[in-house]
Amino acid sequence: MPENPKPALGPAAPQVPDLVSLSLLRAIGEEQSLSRAAARHGLSQPAVSARLRALERRVGTTLVDRGPRGSRLTPAGALVAGWAGPVLDAAADLGAGLASLRSDARGRLRLAASLTVAEHLLPGWLALYAAAHPDSTVTLDAMNSVRVEQAVLDGSVDLGFVEGPNPPRGLRSRVVARDRLAVVVHPGHAWAHRSEPVEPRELAATRLVQREPTSGTRTFLETALAGAGVGPSAAPVLELSTTSAVRSAAVAGAGPAALSLLAVSRDIADGRLVEVDVALDLRRPLRAVWRGDLGPAALDLLRIAGRLREA
């Protein structure tokens, strides 16, 4: 009999925190912010605070110092986060492996994409993919970019498409398309008739019709304004969860909106919306993101997207 055998962890191991709480702790350490850690996981800040309190009760000590300038791990918190790293990575590998087995067994390609990519680019890519793979099954979930990244990280999808300003940490990525945000208004809005560009400071001070804070479109606009030395932005006049809803509100005259040119080009051409010249570079890349090695099906779709981009 071996000496000092390791205790077997059965289904009831109260000393071991759950993976979501450990992942949140690691995110707080990386972001130094409860709100940004919450956004990465698609959770509200109160929900993250509740999980953190429960985790600290379980561990028996304070893990995070909360202050007006952000949140930082205590020495104990940093220790727990370090221990949790290999566990979280192994769990993600296990989830991705099991998901890959399920996907291969069913001939299914599972995708998640931001609304801009899901509505305006993926349909064309998937038509070509389906022609080349007539026996395959493709599932696509449209969600904001933060949730796409989390779905890829936890292995629930094979490939994701996002529209944020920077490559996501912890994932591999490739630019598959280029896009530009257009600031648009109803034809009766005062901006529709101005001759000079809207300056970044005026744009930031104007209440816009916007997506939710974790959307790639809103994040990109805020990053562009911050890069111009302007911020924070005014509170939205409306905050809506889909691109179509923002576009419809702008058409109805609710206020200016910043949307992908892919989403509003027809409205601009038909005169339902007017694009406003702004003194800000709003060009952005659209990326495919994945974790680990891609399977053959996901690689084929990535090649199709790349060929169309080069064409």
pLDDT tens for each residue of 142-160: 999 999 999 999 999 999 9
| Residue 125 maps to a domain | yes
DSSP 8-state secondary structure symbol assigned to residue 191: G
Task: Answer whether 158's CB lies under 8 Å from 99's CB.
Answer: yes
pLDDT of residue 105: 47
pLDDT of residue 110: 94
Task: Check whether the bond before 232 is cis (ω within 30° of 0).
Answer: yes
- What is the arithmetic mean of pLDDT over 274-286? 96
Q: Residue 181's pLDDT band (boundaries 50, 70, 90)?
A: very high
Nearest C-alpha neighbor of 261 from the set 239, 242, 283: 283
Task: Answer whether 184's CB lies under 8 Å from 275's CB.
Answer: yes
Shared domain check, 55 and 143: no
| Residue 158 maps to a domain | yes
Q: Residue 184's pLDDT band (boundaries 50, 70, 90)?
A: very high
Give CA–CA dist 144/39, Å, rounded. 11
In the chain, the number of structural domains is 3
Lowest mean pLDDT among 102-111, 243-252, 266-275, 300-309: 102-111
CATH assignment of the domain containing 224 = 3.40.190.290
Neighbours of 262 (CB within 10 A): 18
Q: Per residue in 230-268, pLDDT tens?
A: 978 899 999 999 999 999 999 999 999 999 999 999 999
Nearest C-alpha neighbor of 141 from the set 110, 179, 112: 112
Q: Can you give the residue range of the structural domain that contains 70?
A: 19-92
Q: Residue 173's pLDDT band (boundaries 50, 70, 90)?
A: very high
Shared domain check, 162 and 199: no
Nearest C-alpha neighbor of 257 from the set 183, 180, 207, 206: 183
Give CA–CA dist 52/55, Å, rounded. 5
Best mean pLDDT range from 136-140, 146-150, 172-176, 188-192: 188-192
Shared domain check, 105 and 54: no
Shared domain check, 190 and 107: no
| Residue 69 maps to a domain | yes
Q: Is the pLDDT of residue 109 over 50?
A: yes
CA–CA distance from 255 to each of 142, 250, 263 (Å)?
25, 6, 17
Q: Is the pLDDT of residue 311 over 70?
A: no
Shared domain check, 153 and 137: yes
